[in-house]
Amino acid sequence: DCVVGDNCSFQTGAYIPTGSRIGDRVFLGPNASLTNDKTPLRTEYKLETITVEDDVTVGSNATLMPGITVGEGAFIAGGAVVTKDVPAWHIAKGCPAVFEELPESLKKPNRLG
């Protein structure tokens, strides 16, 4: 079961697995992937929830690994691989992702809905 908030936009190919928790005004770009299993088909699986808080933007081809929380207003750059929690109002970029605080001009809710 997934929980999805209001006024979200999920683009073509975005993948949202069982157990995901997604807040309001979340944007998932093309082929963005949320994952819930660290070792698919290799061990007895234990699905881990991903939490994406309100006003998060996830760029195209970004991957969010199992068990993480993406804080409110965070921005995940295209192609990033996020392996740990992202603080609120930060950008995650690279593989593995590193975090930087968002500029003040981008610290506002997503304009969805």
For residue 45, name the pLDDT band (cuts at 50, 70, 90): confident
Q: CATH topology for 1-103?
A: UDP N-Acetylglucosamine Acyltransferase; domain 1 (2.160.10)
- Are 36 and 47 contacting, i.e. CB atoms less than 8 angstroms apart? yes
Question: Which residue is it, tokens 């995650």?
Answer: 92
What pLDDT does residue 48 have? 93
What region, left, alpha or beta, does residue 41 occupy, with left being phi > 0 and alpha being psi -120 to 50 degrees? left
Question: Which residue is it, tokens 């079961």?
Answer: 1
pTM: 0.94
Question: Which residue is it, tokens 């981008």?
Answer: 106
What pLDDT does residue 41 have? 75
Residue 87 has pLDDT above 80, yes or no: yes
Question: Which residues lie across from 76 on neighbouring strands?
Answer: 58, 92
SS3 52: strand
What pLDDT does residue 42 have? 74
